[in-house]
Amino acid sequence: MQRTDLSHLLDISRQFQIHGEILHAEPCKVGHINETYTATYDQGGTQVRYIHQRINHEVFKDPAGVMDNLLRVTTHLRRKLAEAGVKDLTRRALTVIPTNDGASFHKTRDGEFWRTFVFIERVRTFEAVETVAQAFEAGRAFGEFQSLLVDLPGKRLAETIPHFHHTRRRFDAMVAAAQSDKANRAVTAKAEIEWALKQENAVDTVLDALAKKRIPERITHNDTKFNNVMLDLDTRKAMCVVDLDTVMPGTPLYDFGDMVRTTTSPTMEDELDLSKVKMQMQMFKALARGYLGTAGKFLTKNERALIAFSGRLITLTIGLRFLTDFLKGDVYFRVHRPQHNLDRCRTQFRLVESIARQEEAMQKFADGL
């Protein structure tokens, strides 16, 4: 639910270093967590747009840490892109507009956290992949993002949501939610709970590899949904990846896995016709080519060996989170209809099955790249 009215947004907008008058603002309905608005200003007789966004501080308990990460990351990206001679920098990396006090976010008296970005024009995002070229671009963009951050200077990034992709914890949370059954919904999700319990053997693989240092910790995006890639309207190439709140230490496998989850099925995350949900090999191939073409430079053999599995793992993990939220009464993800989280869970579990059937072939293809 978007809760901010225009007069409140007007107050917010005055806190940032934006010249000109706000003309109007519209809520952006995409995204399950934060509240986002596109605001149009008159600036020197031209209309210029900005993004105002309220950070959900129930989810991101340390908004200052989020913004500190975000500034370090975007500053570094911009510097590296500039060094490489890239033009159009405000369309290639998010640009934070400071508050009047020079801070990266504004905290209201009621304890809301707001930030402002340059609006990137002449791009669009898609909720589901339509072409193999798009899948390739998604892989290329997130691979490049990770590559550019390999040499980020300074201390370890803050963990903006601790244990975010910790599948073991997500699994246990689902079991606990099913047992306590606070919203009386376990009966409705009986089949999904039973199915999920049978997946337990997958949950520790990547965690164990990390713990035993067979794979390294790296800086990763952690929310590599296809709708977080902005594609240029004319060239159709990826310009910028957005939604940087969960950029933190992780494994690139989590990122690649979430790309498989969101780029290989032709369906939306909440598709009701489960027969349409499937991992399409030609999409995977394009995605893997795009991703390994950029990230292949730094990935190790052990990381590469888990590439196909990562798709199954993250799809399972997000499915478990949707199921948990359904069982708890929709306390985390924004929902737009009854059983929305259960519908989302079902598509994820269906996709896990589809990936599992093709996992060997997927890995074989990736090994050949």
Q: Which residues bind ligand GN1 (CB under 6 A)?
A: 31-33, 59, 223, 225, 243, 246, 269, 318
CB of 33 to ligand GN1, least distance (A): 4
Cβ proximity to Mg ion: between 137 and 243 the closer is: 243
Residue-by-residue DSSP string for 299-342: --HHHHTTHHHHHHHHHHHHHHHHHHHHHHTS-SS--SSTTHHH
Q: Rounded distance, CA 161 to CA 53, Å?
A: 18
Cβ proximity to Mg ion: between 243 and 330 the closer is: 243
Q: Rounded distance, CA 146 to CA 122, Å?
A: 24
CB of 59 to ligand GN1, least distance (A): 6
Q: Rounded distance, CA 176 to CA 154, Å?
A: 38
Q: Which does 268 bind (CB under 5 to 8 A by kind): ligand GN1, Mg ion, none?
A: none
In this structure, the number of other CB atoms found within 10 A of the CB of residue 350 comes to 22
Report angle CA 230, 235, 239 to the nearest 5 degrees.
Answer: 30
CB of 21 to ligand GN1, least distance (A): 30
DSSP, res 26: E
Q: 204, 166, 170, 160: which is closest to 327 by C-alpha?
A: 170
* Residues 230-269, interacting with Mg ion (CB under 5 A): 243
CB of 160 to ligand GN1, least distance (A): 8
CB of 243 to Mg ion, least distance (A): 4
Beta-sheet pairing, 218-220 with 248-250: antiparallel
Q: Rounded distance, CA 68 to CA 112, Å?
A: 17
Cβ proximity to ligand GN1: between 22 and 173 the closer is: 173
* From 137, 192, 223, 343, residue interacting with Mg ion (rule: CB under 5 A): 223
Q: Rounded distance, CA 166 to CA 363, Å?
A: 23
CB of 31 to ligand GN1, least distance (A): 4
Q: Which does 330 bind (CB under 5 to 8 A by kind): ligand GN1, Mg ion, none?
A: none
179 to 218: interface string for Mg ion, x by CB under 5 A: ----------------------------------------
In this structure, the number of other CB atoms found within 10 A of the CB of residue 337 comes to 8
CB of 268 to ligand GN1, least distance (A): 10
**In the numeric block, which tokens belong to residue 7?**
């007069």
Q: Which does 269 bind (CB under 5 to 8 A by kind): ligand GN1, Mg ion, none?
A: ligand GN1
Cβ proximity to ligand GN1: between 32 and 289 the closer is: 32
Cβ proximity to Mg ion: between 263 and 358 the closer is: 263
Q: Is 270 in the site for Mg ion (CB under 5 A)?
A: no
Q: Which does 210 bind (CB under 5 to 8 A by kind): ligand GN1, Mg ion, none?
A: none
Phi-psi region of 102 (alpha: psi -120 to 50; beta: other; left: phi over 0): left
Q: Which residues bind Mg ion (CB under 5 A)?
A: 223, 243
